[in-house]
A and B are shown apart, each in its own frame.
Chain A
Amino acid sequence: MGLADFFRKKGSSSVAKDRLKLVLVSDRAGCSPEIMEQIKNDIIHVISKYIEIDLEGLDIKITQTESETNNGAVPALFASIPIKDMKSAKK
Chain B
Amino acid sequence: MGEVIVITSGKGGVGKTTTTANVGTGLAMLEKKVVLIDTDIGLRNLDVVMGLENRIVYNLVDVIEGTCRIRNALIKDKRYPNLYLLPSAQTRDKNAVTPEQMKKLTDELREEFDYILLDCPAGIEQGFRNAIAGADRAIVVTTPEVSAVRDADRIIGLLEANDMKDIRLIVNRIRMDMVKRGDMMSSDDVCEILAIDLIGVVPDDENIVISTNQGEPLVGSDSLAGRAYMNIARRIMGEDIPYLDLNEKSSFFSKLFGKHKR
Contact = CB atoms under 8 A, between A and B. Distances in A.
Interface of A: 5, 10-14, 16-17, 19-21, 23-24, 27-28
Contacts of B144: 13
Q: Indicate the member of A11, A20, A27 with the most B CB atoms within 10 Å.
A: A20
B31 interface: no
A10 B183 CA distance: 9
Given A13-B179, A17-B189, A17-B193, A23 B184 contact: no
A63 to B, nearest CB: 16
B146 A16 contact: yes
Interface in B178-218: 178-179, 181-186, 189, 193
Contact of A13 (B154, B157, B189): B189
A25 to B, nearest CB: 10
B153 interface: yes
Contact of B193 (A5, A10, A11, A21): A21
B149 interface: yes
B150 interface: yes
Given A20-B146, A20-B193, A24-B193, A14 B182 contact: yes
A27 B145 CA distance: 17
A5 B145 CA distance: 21
B193 A27 contact: no
**Would you list the 9 A-B pairs with minimal beta carbon distance, nearest first?**
A11-B182, A13-B185, A12-B183, A16-B146, A24-B153, A13-B182, A20-B146, A11-B183, A13-B184
Interface residues on B, range: 10 to 19
25 contacts: A5-B181, A11-B181, A11-B183, A12-B182, A13-B182, A13-B183, A13-B185, A13-B186, A14-B182, A16-B145, A16-B146, A16-B185, A17-B189, A17-B193, A19-B146, A20-B149, A20-B150, A20-B193, A21-B193, A24-B153, A24-B193, A27-B150, A27-B153, A28-B153, A28-B157
Nearest to A19: B146
B157 A23 contact: no
Contacts of B193: 17, 20-21, 24
Interface in B135-163: 144-146, 149-150, 153-154, 157
A27 B184 contact: no
A10 B181 CA distance: 10
Contacts of A21: 193
A89 B184 CA distance: 55
Nearest to A30: B157
A19 B150 CA distance: 10
B83 to A, nearest CB: 37
A67 B86 CA distance: 50
B154 A27 contact: yes
B177 to A, nearest CB: 12
A17 B191 CA distance: 11
Nearest to B154: A27
